[in-house]
Amino acid sequence: ETHANVIDGKSIAKQIRDEITSEISRMKDAVSVVPGLAVILVGDRKDSATYVRNKKKACDAVGINSFEVNLPDDSTESEVVKSILNFNKDPSVHGILVQLPLPRHMNEENVLNAVSIEKDVDGFHPLNIGRLAMRGREPLFVPCTPKGCIELLHRYGVEIKGKRAVVIGRSNIVGMPAALLLQREDATVSIVHSRTKNPDEITRQADIIISAVGQPNMVRGSWLKPGAVIIDVGINPVEDTKSPRGYRLVGDVCYEEACKIAAAVTPVPGGVGPMTIAMLLSNTLIAAKRAHSL
């Protein structure tokens, strides 16, 4: 019986973080520049607080200075914008990240518009997304999760050009930019979403699948073309009485089934997840180098 190659995001992410660490240490020695990332957290969502903590830890580990602002849940939009504007003019801050989702009373578009595009390390500013979508234009930053997906394909030597790719999900932060990136890499791209009829017929044509849905084990073995490469972005908790936490995390893709049919699959956890943070660090380093013309 065949078994797909496991795409080891954890070890690739570590390799990337090591590369970033040595580049930052060389920069420090040569020109005394230390990259800086500002993270703005609004409200007290536990998951958001955990993500912010992990990002800060990852910054420390590679030598990026991190700055954190915590605003209460009942802050006004203009208070959030004000703290963004402060970081926009702070020369020791090269990247600014607003942890999403924002509290419901805030307009996400207004807030993200305030981030200077030179410091938009999440790549969510409409100008950066617009450039990503246009031929002949270059975004200053590409969103971290989809960038991590493409980086995994590159580092595993998966050819994208001329291939059929299917992205499942069309969110602003993962699905949509993932589809744009695949298209820029000369794949022929289809997008499957919640209104798509017969999604399995479409995914069966794919040489490459990026799934970002948020439905545990939705993509079955029968949805896959033999030899396809599967990048599973989904992180879904499912009940597991054997785990001390009472749950475990699975992807959108039924991993055991995919392993029998695909050529390569990312595991959950340990696939795309660690790549997202590695790409954030990479974008912050790019921002610092650009700010100092390095």
The residues of the shown chain that bind ligand NDP, judged by CB under 6 A, are 145, 168-171, 173-175, 192-196, 199, 212-215, 218, 233-236, 272-273, 276
Among all residues, whose Cβ is closest to ligand NDP?
Answer: 171
Q: How far is the CB of 170 from ligand NDP (least distance, A)?
A: 4
**Burial status of residue 60 (CB atoms within 10 A of its CB: 0-12, 13-18, 19 or more):** exposed
Q: How far is the CB of 93 from ligand NDP (least distance, A)?
A: 23
Q: Is-catalytic flag, 55?
A: yes
Q: List, in sequence order, every beta strand (DSSP E) within the chain.
A: 5-6, 36-42, 65-71, 95-98, 164-168, 188-192, 208-211, 229-232, 236-239, 247-250, 264-265
Q: Of residues 55, 119, 147, 163, which has the active-site annotation?
A: 55
Sign of CA dihedral 143, 149, 155, 161: negative
Residue closer to ligand NDP (CB basis): 93 or 250: 250
CB 63 within 8 A of CB 28: yes
Residue closer to ligand NDP (CB basis): 147 or 184: 147
Residue closer to ligand NDP (CB basis): 75 or 276: 276
Sign of CA dihedral 15, 151, 230, 132: positive
Q: Of residues 8, 119, 120, 122, which has the active-site annotation?
A: 122
Question: Would you tell me how many other CB atoms lie within 10 Å of the CB of residue 100?
Answer: 16
Q: How far is the CB of 13 from ligand NDP (least distance, A)?
A: 11
Q: How far is the CB of 112 from ligand NDP (least distance, A)?
A: 15
Q: Of residues 99, 147, 163, 252, which has the active-site annotation?
A: 99
Give catalytic residue positions: 55, 99, 122
